[in-house]
Structure 1
Amino acid sequence: MREGLQFSAAHRFRGDDVHFDDPSTTTSTSSKRKSSSDHTSDDASASKRRRSTGQKSKLATVLNDQLSIGNTKPSLYTPGEDLWENRIYSCLVVSPAGRVISEFRSLKELLESERDAIKAHQSLYVKGKILHRDISSNNIIITNPETANGFKGMLIDLDLAKVRDSGPSARHQTGTMQFMAVEVLRKTDHTYRHDLESFFYVLLWMCARQAWSNGFAGEEKPPKDSLLRKWEIGSFKDIARVKAGDMTVNGLEYIMGEFPKAMDVVKPLCFGLRTILFGDTARRVLGTPAGDPDQLYTPTIAAYDEAISKL
Structure 2
Amino acid sequence: MSRDKNSAVVNKELYGHRLHIPDLVDRLFPDEVLPKPVKAIYTHLSASRLYKPGKRGTEKWIECPDIITVPSNNGDVKAELTRFLRQVANAIASFVDEPRNREVTEEFSASTYVPSTADDVEHKRSPALLFFNDGVPRTWETTICPWEIGRNNRKKTKDKVIEQAIEDCSTIFENQDDRRFVPSVLMLGYNIELRIFDRAGEVYSEEFDMRTKPESFLRILTALMFSDREALGYDPAFTTLPNGTRTITIQGKVYEILERVHHAHGIRGRGTNCWHATCDGKHFAIKDCWMDETRVSVEADFLTEAGKKGVKGVPTLVAEDSPLFRGEKDTTQSICPSLQEQSYRKAFERRDRRQHRRLVLEPFAIPITYFRSKKELIKGFIDAITAHRDLLDLAGILHRDISLNNIMLIDMSDGSRKGLLIDLDYAAVYPEPENPAPGFAARTGTTPFMACDLLSANGPVRHQPHWDLESFLYVLIWICMVYSGPNNKRRNFDLGKSRLAGWTGGSFSVISERKSGTMGRLFEKLLGGFPSYFADLKDCVYKWRDLHFDLSHPRRGAPSHDEVLEILQATHDSLPEADLVLDEDQDGQESLATAPEHSGMSDANDIREDDALSQSVITAPEGTPAAEESTGASNINMLSQNFPQNLDYKGVPDALRGHKRVRTRSTSPEEDFLDGGIIPRNPSTSGGSRRSFGTFTPRDRSPSPSTISEHLSGEATEDFLTKIKRMLKLQGRAKTAVTPEARPSKRRRTEKGA
**TM-score, normalised relative to structure 2:** 0.29
Seen in structure 2, the aligned counterparts of structure 1 residues 32 and 102 have a Cα distance that, compared at 3 Å, is: farther
Q: 1:277 Cα shift? A: 2.0
Task: Confirm whether residue 179 of structure 1 aligns to residue 202 of structure 2.
Answer: no
Seen in structure 2, the aligned counterparts of structure 1 residues 253 and 302 have a Cα distance that, compared at 3 Å, is: same
Structure number having the greater strand percentage: 2
Aligned equivalent of 1:197: 470
Q: 1:239 aligns with which of 480, 500, 511?
A: 511
Q: 1:151 Cα shift? A: 7.0
Rounded Cα–Cα distance in structure 2 between residues aligned with 1:266 and 1:237 = 29
Aligned equivalent of 1:73: 344
Aligned equivalent of 2:480: 207
Contact 2:371 2:488 in 1 (8 A): no
Task: Confirm whether residue 11 of structure 1 aligns to residue 33 of structure 2.
Answer: yes
Q: 1:166 aligns with which of 413, 432, 435?
A: 432
Seen in structure 2, the aligned counterparts of structure 1 residues 301 and 151 have a Cα distance that, compared at 3 Å, is: farther
Q: 1:94 Cα shift? A: 2.8
Q: 1:230 Cα shift? A: 1.4
Q: 1:211 Cα shift? A: 2.8
1:42-121 equivalences in 2 (<5 Å): 72-73=343-344, 90-95=358-363, 97-121=364-388
> What is the identity percentage for the equivalent residue pairs of Structure 1 and Structure 2?
31
Aligned equivalent of 2:536: 265
Q: 1:279 Cα shift? A: 2.8
Task: Confirm whether residue 277 of structure 1 aligns to residue 548 of structure 2.
Answer: yes
Q: 1:299 Cα shift? A: 1.4
Q: 1:289 Cα shift? A: 2.6
Q: 1:281 Cα shift? A: 2.7
SS in 2 for 1:73: helix
Q: 1:264 Cα shift? A: 0.9
1:248-259 equivalences in 2 (<5 Å): 248=520, 250-259=521-530
Rounded Cα–Cα distance in structure 1 between residues aligned with 2:505 and 2:359 = 31
Which amino acid is the alignment partner of residue 179 of structure 1? F
Seen in structure 2, the aligned counterparts of structure 1 residues 36 and 103 have a Cα distance that, compared at 3 Å, is: same
Contact 2:370 2:488 in 1 (8 A): no
Contact 1:216 1:260 in 2 (8 A): no
Seen in structure 2, the aligned counterparts of structure 1 residues 147 and 215 have a Cα distance that, compared at 3 Å, is: closer
Rounded Cα–Cα distance in structure 2 between residues aligned with 1:13 and 1:133 = 51
Seen in structure 2, the aligned counterparts of structure 1 residues 33 and 106 have a Cα distance that, compared at 3 Å, is: farther
Q: 1:156 Cα shift? A: 0.6
**Superposition RMSD on alpha carbons, in Å?**
3.9
Q: 2:396 aligns with which of 126, 129, 149?
A: 129
Contact 1:116 1:151 in 2 (8 A): no
Structure number having the greater helix percentage: 1
SS in 2 for 1:90: strand
Which amino acid is the alignment partner of residue 160 of structure 1? Y
**TM-score, normalised relative to structure 1:** 0.66
Aligned equivalent of 1:6: none
Larger radius of gyration: 1
Aligned equivalent of 2:642: none
Which amino acid is the alignment partner of residue 525 of structure 2? Y
Seen in structure 2, the aligned counterparts of structure 1 residues 107 and 206 have a Cα distance that, compared at 3 Å, is: same
Which amino acid is the alignment partner of residue 133 of structure 1? R
Gaps of 5+ in 1: 1-8, 17-30, 40-50, 56-70, 78-86
Rounded Cα–Cα distance in structure 2 between residues aligned with 1:173 and 1:184 = 7
Q: 1:298 Cα shift? A: 1.0
Aligned equivalent of 1:141: 408
Seen in structure 2, the aligned counterparts of structure 1 residues 213 and 154 have a Cα distance that, compared at 3 Å, is: closer
Q: 1:157 aligns with which of 423, 431, 436?
A: 423
SS in 1 for 2:405: coil
